[in-house]
Structure 1
Amino acid sequence: MTGPDPKLISGNANRPLATAVARRISMHRGMQVALLDARVERFNDQEIFVEVYENVRGEDMFIIQSTSNPANDNLMELLIMSDALRRSSASRITAVIPYFGYARQDRRTKARTPISAKLVANMMVSAGIERVLTMDLHAAQIQGFFDIPVDNLYASPVFALDILHHLRGRDVMVVSPDVGGVARARELAQRIHAPLAIVDKRREKPGEVSEMTVIGDVKGKTCVIVDDICDTAGTLCKAADVLIEAGAEEVHAYITHGVMSGPAVDRVTKSNLKNLVITDTIQPTEAVRGCANIRIVPTAPVFAQAILNIWNGTSVSSLFSNDTLEPIYESLYPSGMAAQAS
């Protein structure tokens, strides 16, 4: 431990999540742990300005800031907050980035294109960030873009508890919406002891799916599509249609990051999806909250515990276990779920 308590500061990307994390840490510590008193605002020309009102000299600082839409503004807030803390003599700065923007630009897909995820990693290190805590990176190799420790949490243990609670007694089959997501889907399938199917999609051009084929027998199954990002929900809703046509009884989707841009909410509302379950790594809009078949699972409990583990110098990977997560999520799910998933 570098100080009496971990110190938390939040940008404007997802204040409700940051507040929930601070409240959860307060419960664990048995004392009030509040977000640092600071202002993160914009001048008239939209320049970002940060001022910290409390002494942070020698403190172990955690900046809670997703780099979601507007990605560039939220990224700049994160970098400027880090610079302000570094110049104020904070002992260590950890960036808690529930949703890591630019993660889909992790390689050169064609000539004369950037690797933006690597550029973002370089900027974070240059701004003084010494550790990163995130959830479900779109590409695991992004951890190698950093020359600092990166802790990548997974939503699948939380999803496993949720599935075992809400779909208990159903004949569940986990479905990957594309070949690239098979490893993620397989990991969840193993946790809940369910079979695995794949929806193979082919694109004629970016953003448009021309053909989908189901690999596996989904007839009579309660299908659970698992993925890391839902953007416009076009592929997700089309996959649900294909699964229903193939004989699936119901289709549910578990997506870590609900970007939900453009027509996403309208598509989900009108789709064959029984439920779309997302986390709050990205602050949900009013439209998302008001959608009858979208449910939001909180991530504050797991992020709060991860922050405490980093601050204490203990294992973060212990949070990958259902046995560890069950007591953390005891208010949401009854006891005994972890035993079924293990």
Structure 2
Amino acid sequence: MSALREPLLFAGRSHPELAEAIAAELGTTLVPTKAVDFANGEIYVRYHASVRGADCFVVQSHTAPINKAIMEQLIMVDALKRASARSITVIVPFYGYARQDRKHSGREPISARLMADLLKAAGAHRILTVDLHADQIQGFFDGPVDHLFAMPVLADHVGGRVDRDRLTVVSPDAGRVRVADGWCDRLGAPLAIVHKRRDKDVAHKVTAHEVVGEVRDRVCVLVDDMIDTGGTICAAAEALFAQGARDVIVAATHGVLSDPAADRLKNSAVSEFIFTDTLPVPAALGLDKVTVLPVAPLLASAVREIHRNGSVTRLLRGR
């Protein structure tokens, strides 16, 4: 009986820095891979090492241009399947289309389910991801989904910098209360909620209304899974300052930061925006008040457990 091969780690082109950091944590190197775009935009991938009988891990965060990143990962998985890989785990630090997890009205897709179907059809056996927008997405994939959480990384950073006796954890809307509750438990802080409504007549306009909870003279940490254009979180921060908050810190796992996020973050009175590096934070932001924390140690630990048939669940105990 042949010995189990070491896990093989592959990187797509969307966020190679994160893949390299995971490899460094594992004490290995990325498998040499050729990935090129043809003149018409089609993607070609070829691996320069045998993958037969190996546990393979394909790292690709779904960042802009998001559809290209997704297609490249699907092609990488297909190449591994056809090269007789023993198992294929897709590491998707940021899962594309996660906000389209249900139908809000007629004649709409459930694109998060389609994403899971595409990964399965390509040949993926397992998904490893961080902070899905909705927990039910785990059930869209017909196979194991290891759903990791960045809250301990973010919360410990905040807790080490702020007087916890003056801290209030704030959910930017009712949908994030469960996440904020986890922060409260970890930091021993009270909870507040910003009541939010969207203007039905103006697309993408967010109006923050009343604040439920005590925030006056408090340091408020607004927590969310992602920040895209920054409209929701900046409106929530304004509502907190209007209610007398001493300071506001924003913590989110995924810094999508689509336009006009850079201007909104720059002009906001928020003292610090904290993200993880599940996505590359654009260097063009150039903001001193943006802090980026690493998730490579968490992802590398999960890779070790999967490869050894260990327990990924133990990594969730810090949630």
Q: TM-score, normalised by structure 2?
A: 0.96
- CA displacement 1:221-262 (0-9 Å, x = unmatched): 110000001001111111111101101110001001000010
Equivalent residue, structure 2, for 1:307: 303
Equivalent residue, structure 2, for 1:274: 271
Q: Please state if 1:297 is matched with 2:298.
A: no
Paired with 2:280 and 2:3, the residues of 1 have a C-alpha distance of 31
Equivalent residue, structure 2, for 1:23: 24
Q: CA RMSD in A?
A: 1.4
Unaligned runs of 5+ in 1: 27-32, 326-342
Task: Summarize the alignment of residues 152-171 of structure 1 with structure 2, pairs less than 5 Å apart.
Answer: 152-171=147-166
Query: Which residue among 35, 45, 52 is the counterpart of 1:50?
Result: 45
Query: Which residue among 155, 173, 181 is the counterpart of 1:186?
Result: 181
Over 3 Å counting, the alpha-carbon distance change for 1:178 and 1:43 in structure 2 is same
Equivalent residue, structure 2, for 1:6: 7
Paired with 1:48 and 1:138, the residues of 2 have a C-alpha distance of 28
Of 206-215 and 306-315, more deviation after overlay is shown by: 206-215
Fraction of identical pairs, as percent: 43
Paired with 2:313 and 2:255, the residues of 1 have a C-alpha distance of 24
Check conservation: 1:176, 1:198, Cα contact below 8 A.
Answer: yes
- Ranges of 4+ aligned residues in structure 1 off by more than 3 Å: none
Amino acid in the other structure paired with 1:221: R
Query: Which residue among 87, 90, 115 is the counterpart of 2:85?
Result: 90
> Secondary structure at the residue paired with 1:112?
coil
Query: When the two structures are aligned, how many residues end up with a matched partner?
Result: 316
Q: TM-score, normalised by structure 1?
A: 0.90
Task: Summarize the alignment of residues 232-247 of structure 1 with structure 2, pairs less than 5 Å apart.
Answer: 232-247=229-244
Equivalent residue, structure 2, for 1:38: 33
Paired with 1:25 and 1:210, the residues of 2 have a C-alpha distance of 45
Equivalent residue, structure 2, for 1:72: 67
Unaligned runs of 5+ in 2: none
Check conservation: 1:2, 1:59, Cα contact below 8 A.
Answer: no
Paired with 1:189 and 1:309, the residues of 2 have a C-alpha distance of 29
Measured after TM superposition, the shift of residue 204 of structure 1 is 2.0
Amino acid in the other structure paired with 1:281: T
Task: Summarize the alignment of residues 59-138 of structure 1 with structure 2, pairs less than 5 Å apart.
Answer: 59-138=54-133
Measured after TM superposition, the shift of residue 286 of structure 1 is 1.0
Task: Summarize the alignment of residues 207-286 of structure 1 with structure 2, pairs less than 5 Å apart.
Answer: 207-286=204-283
Measured after TM superposition, the shift of residue 263 of structure 1 is 1.5
Check conservation: 1:269, 1:292, Cα contact below 8 A.
Answer: no
